[in-house]
Structure 1
Amino acid sequence: MPVLCDLKPSGRYVATDLHRAGGIPQVMKILLAHGVLHGDALTITGQTVTEVLQDVPAEPRKDQEVIRPWNNPIYAQGHLAILKGNLAPEGAVAKTTGFMAHKITGPARVFESEESCMEAILAQKIKPGDVVVIRYEGPKGGPGMREMLSPTSAIIGEGLGDSVGLITDGRFSGATYGMVVGHVAPEAAVGGVIALVNEGDSVTIDAEQGLLQLNVPDEEITRRRAAWQPPAPRYTRGVLAKYAKLVSSASKGAVTD
């Protein structure tokens, strides 16, 4: 998907400039015209997307520079990629801008929490070529899908940003740099395959092919799943315990219906 809007923090303009240039309806009409929106989807008005946008031009106005036409984007590809594979059957999110390598295969370095991973990074136990796995930090496991900015920043601080991968069922911020994959679903707390990764297993992150793979035979994954037991919840009372009990998968928005 191309990047069409020149907006801060990396661009020049702000939301009010976007509004004056045609706003979200203009961006939606460009996407609709190029077949990447479902025009028959219903909106809150009761009309379809196509009906709501019927009077919006298919191309942005020429007297503004905030919204680019489809054939002249800011970037040909956006900064996020959705990865799938046996390690993330419901999907995961990788950030793909700002670094050279978009794929890595290496031994898993497995951590059950953000804190234990931080200790290993600061003790210089993570080496080039490793794939760090931080699990039990998802919507249920965190609970709340904690942000993994500290480990990713520490990896950069150790000079490993271009040589170490990181996979988590937690999340990361817009400031994160490197071969980082978050939002892995299903998460470890519900028995997702990320819970079955062993120290030293071969793991592949390939943003070019959209792949997140545990390079272990299916029979071995089945054996590990049969032996897996969920850890005790971090909270047994209060709002966090209630949240962990009710929250859905990250792939469904981590909602609590």
Structure 2
Amino acid sequence: MTGKNTVILAGCGNMGFAMLKGWLASGALQAGDVYVVEPSEQLRSRAGELGVNVAAGASDLPHELNPALVILAVKPQAVDAVLPDYARFADAGSTVVSVAAGITIARFEEKLGANAAIIRVMPNTPAAVGAGMMVLCANSRVGEASMEFARTLMAASGDVAVIDDESLMDAVTAVSGSGPAYLFHMIEALTEAARTAGLPDEIAAQLARQTIYGAAVYAHESGVEPGTLREQVTSPQGTTEAALSVLMKDGRLTKLMTEAVEAARKRSVELGK
């Protein structure tokens, strides 16, 4: 039960289950190499249907288990209560990976010891459909092989970036962590604008969702700078130019987004104290 690809997944709620499905579907992990710890019988049963090993608590795991990674996918407020259950794995050399928002590496070192290898991950909700943004930050005890393994697993849920300065995680949280909500609100706003322009509710919602989805996919897949894509859509003295003269006047949308991101970053700093 020791292997370079063996993983404990502690917590298999929405985020944990989404990551688990991605690992198995991509072939990054084999079902037999995953040990899911989930106290909820319903959620544990759901995970078990994928063929992975399941347990109600860490004490139910095989004593000889020595995983490469222990991935904590529990809510931030549950971290302190859960960590002691996995200290033995950290002591034995397993790298602990956390997707709990706002919990610093120092907090994990405080609970698990200064020699514990810790990777902190900031995911976002599109990870549930394999389109997430996963940002990793590790302490100096994490080995190259463990870091690469963690990157491979997170890549099954979307794009991956690595930062060296953990203090930047507050900015990451404000941009990609909270960012999906900004776009969801943009869909709401565009839908309401479409209704005001006279479109039926169902058509208004369809146009708003698909337009923003299509534009995001196009921006991602084309490899062209967003400013260039904007210019390609904007005909001189046309309809798009008329709309952008409102959105871009005095940089109003950029200023608004900058204020929003800064508000989220400051709140992230406060929550991390």
The structure carrying a bigger strand percent of its residues is 1
The structure carrying a bigger helix percent of its residues is 2
TM-score of the superposition, structure 1-length normalised?
A: 0.30
TM-score of the superposition, structure 2-length normalised?
A: 0.29
Name which structure has the greater RCO, CA cutoff 8 Å, separation 6+: 1
